[in-house]
């Protein structure tokens, strides 16, 4: 296991990491983008009424800005266990160690990316995403709350994501 252990957050990990954090840094992951491209059948939807959650989707020439978390020393194994329980519940995510860039330099971080061959992977236009997010609810709550919390925390950090901002406003109009 790598020490120190860094984890890249781009969605709910930003505002709810669920593990002891020793340090946070704004970070950029090149070659990937944040996207509502995963149908959620557990946390923000159900099998009968799937919601949508964010995933890192491979995209040449693009990048995703998020937060790099350095796991508190001594909590590396328990953090990976907890993250795997949370993120790999349906095997739609793949756990990867990827190079990220921070203002303090480059480092490697664990990140959860979408498996493009998984049945939960989808590409929907923004209007369809908004309609789904506005009405879905799962084991961790309403899909719209997930969107709004992520958008608000990105804004607090000064991270611009025009797609998320548009979705947040559109979902507010629909609910």
Q: What amino acid positions are annotated as catalytic residues?
A: 87
Any residues with CB less than 8 A from the CB of 80 and at least 6 apart, and which?
A: 1, 5, 110
The 3-class SS string of 154-165 reads HHHCCCCCHHHH
Q: Report CA 25 to chain centroid distance, whole Å.
A: 16
> Which DSSP symbol is given to 121?
B
CA nearest 133: which of 10, 62, 35? 35
52 cis-preceded (ω within 30 degrees of 0): no
> Which DSSP symbol is given to 75?
-
CA nearest 108: which of 55, 68, 60? 68
Among left, alpha and beta (phi > 0; psi -120 to 50; other), residue 62 is: beta
């Amino acid at each position: 296991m790598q020490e120190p252990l860094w984890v890249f957050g781009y969605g709910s990990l930003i505002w709810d990491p669920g593990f002891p954090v020793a340090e946070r840094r704004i970070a950029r992951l090149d070659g990937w983008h944040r996207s509502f491209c995963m149908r959620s059948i557990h946390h923000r939807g159900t099998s009968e009424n799937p919601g949508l959650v964010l995933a890192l989707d491979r995209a040449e020439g693009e990048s995703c800005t998020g937060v790099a978390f350095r796991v508190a020393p001594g909590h590396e194994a328990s953090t990976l266990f907890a993250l795997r329980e949370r993120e790999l519940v349906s095997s739609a995510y793949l756990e990867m160690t990827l190079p990220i860039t921070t203002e303090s330099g480059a480092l490697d971080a664990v990140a959860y990316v979408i498996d493009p061959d998984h049945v939960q992977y989808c590409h929907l236009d923004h209007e369809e995403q908004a309609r789904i997010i506005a009405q879905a609810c799962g084991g961790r709550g309403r899909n719209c709350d997930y969107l709004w919390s992520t958008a608000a925390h990105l804004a607090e950090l000064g991270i611009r994501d025009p797609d998320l901002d548009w979705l947040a406003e559109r979902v507010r109009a629909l609910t």
